Amino acid sequence: MLEGKHPPDPQPAGVALVRQFQELLEENFRRSANRLKTVQEFADALRVHPNHLSATTKETLGKTAGELLQERLLTEAKSLLLHSGLTVKEIEYQLDFETPNYFSRFFKKHTGRTPGDFRSQI
């Protein structure tokens, strides 16, 4: 081995878990069926406790797993509003919101605008 050269440190377990979570989160939005919806479901898929997953993402990225999940959901909603011809109700259904008006409330809470206003202003 050359002097001054060291093998790379193994990846810390927390960073690996966050990377796995992020990959699963992205993969989840490419699925059309059997989407994971809650931090509990993601934690189960990763075989960790949901509190551990959230604490690890908070420590590594400064955001909880729930916050990252909501951000990704919001990104997907914005993309569908801007780049698809789907109605707000169809987007709501596609993103698996449980009740009809929950999507609009969720969207307005995070953007300050209704989905319809967002679409018309862009």
Q: What is the reported pLDDT for 99?
A: 78
Instruction: Indicate if the pLDDT at residue 6 is higher than 50.
Output: yes
Over residues 62-112, the pLDDT tens digits come to: 999 999 999 999 999 999 999 999 999 999 988 988 876 899 999 999 999
Confirm or reject CATH 1.10.10.60 for domain 13-121, answering yes or no: yes
Q: In the block, which residue shows the tokens 């809470």?
A: 109
Question: What's the token pair of residue 50?
Answer: 């949901």
Q: What is the CA radius of gyration of the chain?
A: 18
Using N-to-C axis directions, what is the helix angle for 13-30 and 39-46, rounded to 10°? 120
Alpha-carbon dihedral angle through residues 72, 77, 78, 79, given to the nearest 10 degrees: 90
Q: What is the pTM of this model?
A: 0.84
pLDDT value, residue 11: 61
- Residues 9-65: pLDDT tens digits? 446 888 999 999 999 999 998 876 778 999 999 999 999 999 999 999 999 999 999
